[in-house]
Structure 1
Amino acid sequence: MGTLSLTDYEEVKIPVPWGHISGRWHGNRTERPILAFHGWLDNLGTFDRLIPLLPDNVGVLCIDLPGHGRSSRLQPGMHYSVYDYVFIIPRVMKEYGWHKVSLMGHSLGGIISFVYAALAPHTVDMIISLDILLPIPINARGKDLDTLGRNMEKHLVEDERQEEGNLREPPAYTLPELRKVLAKGSYNSVPPKEAQHLLYRQVAKSQLYPDRFYFSRDARVKFYHHLYLQEGLAAEMARRIKRKPYLIIKGSLSPYVGRHCDEAMSILGESNPHFELHEVEGTHHVHLHAAEECAKYIVPFIRHHRPPTLNTWSLAGQEAQLSSKERRLAQEQFFARHKPSKHRSKL
């Protein structure tokens, strides 16, 4: 069996009331693909290094969320939120007539996948979550509340600017400068050498300065409405997902799969041989800068839970799924390394 080709894809435009959802359907287009969602401020290019490592028996439909990449922006006066992004999944399913969906998401995309799987578990057959499970809880000391207040004000300013038709260009940069700006904006999670995978779908050529470019995504997405889940709610959502095939890959240097996820992960993994948790050395964009290491877990997971329809194919061989014993041992070692100290605050 082979792997997907990054250049073998079909550009898609899925109509929605405010415009369209832009995407790329890689590989097999005769069967239902894996539906892939990127993270906040990113676009479908985030999967460019991972796609060529995935098995070619399934397709992968990567989309740009509204306001990101080449998808349409929401109308003036509207606000972006995680809740609304969740509704993109049933819209895509309706467009193609799917009754089931396989999900893969990084960061915001992983949160969207978790929420949708909890709301409509009967329609989900597999989830791959890249360095995320739940959103990080809001700071109880009020620091995050201050940030939310400032973001509300900034969103209104940006909304008024767009509604008034102010066509003044955002700041423009050379391509080397853009790589550095993107790396800094991601807290160096995206190395400058990998920045081109995200830039080609979210920059436009400046009309004022030759050889310079500016970010073309909707600036309002920077101030989108976050989702905050109390532990009890997150646990109940995990119970609704039950024994679904669920793969979580954590970047070793990232805080996004932390103690706040322990209860939900414990529920997802309880008596569930289809639950996997693995740690790969790297930052939040571990699937981008360490794609090969992530693929070591993603490929057998896909081949096990979305096998080819050919009767001659077998799960046996070098690419077989890790045994249940090996998987359980890896998970126990992970939880042991990340067990909270007695002296740590529970906040």
Structure 2
Amino acid sequence: MYKSLSFEVNGRRLAAMEWGSPEGPPVLALHGWLDNAASFTRLSEYLPQCRLIAIDLAGHGFSDHRPAGTHYYIWDNVADVLAVADQLGLKRFSLAGHSMGAGISMLIAGAFAERVEQLFLIDGLAPLDYAADELPVLMAQAIDKRARMGRRTLRPYTSFEQAVQVRMGGRWPVSRQAALWLLERGLREQDGGWYWRSDSALMLPSVVRLCEAQIEAFLRRISAPVLVVMADRGIGLERVEAQVGLIDNVELRVLPGTHHLHLEQEAAVLIAKLMNDRLHCAA
């Protein structure tokens, strides 16, 4: 079982799920794009002596959406996570991040090294980077697309079970149990249909993006020990292999699994053991 948490950050509600021992080492967990805090449910089973707090990032799960017309830039999550840590009274904490959440964790550790004890990154390391000379064109394309699309409401699913089947067979497939965890927090029922709670604006392209030199500057400033666990059938392994050399204290592990390997039992057990060993927690 988990404990539900709620925080107010700049007039917006951020929701979270907490598992484990209140006296254990605190780990703030950050999910991937279009997922939610329930992404860490499987992993929490094997981290009972840690204080695991998974946050619904803005626009996801039970957290509020950003105001209309506001963009979802990955770096805006940095301030949100730090605000949650402050409200929890955590001067220092570890971070566990999956995919997009790994990129947010990396930005926090690079910008606020004094706050971060350890980094546990799952099938991800850094935000996407783009060639600097492509950024003007990408900005124009993003603005044009945003003007055309705006905030759209996606068609609802006719049943919860239909949504489960779609999520199981999505771009990054997950098991039925994992789909149930994610959708119980990610869907809402209205007028006989099932809608995503996540903000449709998350689907719009970013107007401002990071280039390779900016990403490398953050990676070089990380002082916390870093564990990167990649899936052999995940995404971005070659890119991560090229980037880990920029971090002073880093270990890269490649485990059997897909992009959501932390939701797969065998991989979750292995990831939790690595985390417990580093956090000095008895499983």
Common fold by TM > 0.5: yes
Q: 1:227, CA displacement in angstroms?
A: 7.3
Q: Give the CA RMSD over aligned residues.
A: 2.8
1:37 and 2:30 correspond: yes
1:46 and 2:39 correspond: yes
Q: Which residue, out of 181, 185, 200, partners 1:201?
A: 185
2:154 & 2:104 partners in 1: Cα distance?
32
Residue number in structure 2 paired with 1:248? 228
Q: Structure 1 pair 193/108, CA: closer, same or farther in 2 (3 Å)?
A: same
2:35 & 2:23 partners in 1: Cα distance?
28
Residue number in structure 2 paired with 1:284? 259
2:141 & 2:167 partners in 1: Cα distance?
21
1:226 & 1:11 partners in 2: Cα distance?
34
1:246 & 1:266 partners in 2: Cα distance?
12
**Deviation readout 1:225-255 (Å, 9 max, x if unpaired):** 387443333333222113x221111111223
Q: Which residue, out of 236, 243, 265, partners 2:244?
A: 265
Letter matched to residue 32 of structure 2: G
Contact 1:14–1:20 under 8 Å retained in 2: yes
2:271 & 2:198 partners in 1: Cα distance?
32
Residue number in structure 1 paired with 2:83? 91
Residue number in structure 2 paired with 1:127? 119
Pairing 1:51-200 to 2, within 5 Å after superposition: 51-54=44-47, 56-138=48-130, 145=138, 148-149=142-143, 151-153=145-147, 157-158=150-151, 170-184=155-169, 186-192=170-176, 194-200=178-184
Rg: which structure is higher?
1
Higher relative contact order (CA 8 A, sep 6+): 2
Residue number in structure 2 paired with 1:329? none
1:151 & 1:105 partners in 2: Cα distance?
29
**Deviation readout 1:108-166 (Å, 9 max, x if unpaired):** 11000001100011111100001001234347997x938735642355x21xx7xxxxx
Identify the structure with the greater strand proportion.
Answer: 2
1:118 & 1:299 partners in 2: Cα distance?
25
**Deviation readout 1:307-343 (Å, 9 max, x if unpaired):** 25xxxx8xxxxx8xxxxxxxxxxxxxxxxxxxxxxxx
**Deviation readout 1:33-82 (Å, 9 max, x if unpaired):** 2100101011011111111022x221100110111000111222222110
Letter matched to residue 286 of structure 1: L
TM-score under structure 1 length normalisation? 0.72
Q: Structure 1 pair 121/227, CA: closer, same or farther in 2 (3 Å)?
A: farther
Contact 1:103–1:126 under 8 Å retained in 2: yes
Structure 2 portions without partners, runs of 5+? none
